Amino acid sequence: MASAVLVTGSCGLIGSEVTVFFSRLGFKVTGVDNNFRATFFGPEGDTRWSLERIKASCPDYSHVDLDIRDRAGILALIENLRPALIVHTAAQPSHDRAADIPFLDFEVNALGTLNLLEASRQFCRDTPFIHMSTNKVYGDLPNSIPLKEMETRWEYADEKFRNGIPETFSIDQSKHSLFGASKVASDILVQEYGRYFDMPTCCLRGGCLTGPNHSGVELHGFLSYLVRCNLTNREYRVFGYGGKQVRDNIHSEDVARFMYEFYQRPRCAEVYNLGGGKGNSCSILEAFRMIEGLTGKPQRWSYVAQNRAGDHICYYSDLTKMQAHYPGWSISKPLAAIFQEIVEGWSHRVVGETAVHS
């Protein structure tokens, strides 16, 4: 009998990639998703198209339309399923949006995670629990690192951070945004259930998680939304830092591959900075050039001098710890391939949008 995997947020970018990945490996995947992304971001955040793609790709997929804030529902689901792996990707993912919906943001990100952890402790405490956290748990403290301004990007001037931000970096004494604060709460909960109850848990502090199946919107989904703007002649707004702010980008398939490595050799209460590393980093200005080179279309953009609260000037993940613990894993999708896939993905999905935004 196939092992059961429970994926929350199964219609989102990472959730859908994990669902398809583990299904192809022969696992029976149950997905929990109530399309709350449409509530957070409106019609452009709707993920029903993703659900149809999953159903077409994974015949044995079971879908549960359940809110992770529903404690009784989550307890009953996990008691009945008792999965061999839990991958928790469901979240309110935008630090801008969180300020408008603080209670909902905290309930989804923190309380929802607690519901899942407690259900796991009661009914399958030896099951690996993988939580998609975020690099926003570090707040804006990375901005205190000395930087040097280059022609098209900011770069770390301190040699200690030549490989990026390590997991030992402090999460204290910084501005996180309310989203960052709710994700800190869930991150610490996952660690504490691991340490206190000796459960196999890990937090993956993601940077720019991306890929062709992302429903990118302005408030969440940097590369996906940027490509969408280019292809539909929509103006992209750059918020501060001269457009030289840097992010590392990791393909959702590489995220799923790491989760499988952790499932095979789980550890207790681990934390990993999961991003593309320096090799897959780029600034917004550099992203414009790469996309224009692929589509042949000039990027329309405007500049807003005020940066977003708590936003990182330069951030890329130090992958040293991940690769030391799991030497069989490495980045398989270079930045150029990621851009190509996103362009191809959106090219099939933006029919009709161009006229609206021209």
Task: Return the SS3 of 290.
Answer: helix
Determine, yes or no, domain membership for 144: yes
Q: What is the pLDDT of residues 278-322, one digit of tens each?
A: 999 999 999 999 999 999 999 999 999 998 877 899 999 999 999
Contact 110, 59 (CB under 8 A): no
Determine, yes or no, domain membership for 356: no
Q: What is the pLDDT of residues 163-189, one digit of tens each?
A: 999 999 999 999 999 999 999 999 999
Determine, yes or no, domain membership for 311: yes
Q: What is the pLDDT of residue 353?
A: 56
Q: What is the pLDDT of residue 281?
A: 97
Q: Which domain holds residue 118?
A: 4-351
Burial of 121 (0-12, 13-18, 19+ CB in 10 A): middle
What's the number of domains the chain is made of?
A: 1
Per run of 10 residues, the mean pLDDT along the chain (length 358 residues) is: 92 94 97 84 77 93 97 98 98 87 96 98 98 96 97 98 98 94 98 98 94 71 88 95 96 97 98 97 97 96 90 96 98 96 85 48
Determine, yes or no, domain membership for 250: yes
Determine, yes or no, domain membership for 358: no
CA distances from 331 to 251, 254, 275, 334 (A): 8, 6, 9, 7
CA-nearest of 228, 229, 236, 230 to 212 is: 228
What is the domain-level CATH number for residue 269? 3.40.50.720
Q: Is 50 left (phi over 0), alpha (psi -120 to 50) or beta?
A: alpha
Rounded to an integer, what distance in angstroms lies between the CA atom of residue 259 and that of residue 90? 15
CA-nearest of 256, 229, 269 to 117 is: 269
Q: What is the pLDDT of residue 356?
A: 43
Determine, yes or no, domain membership for 335: yes
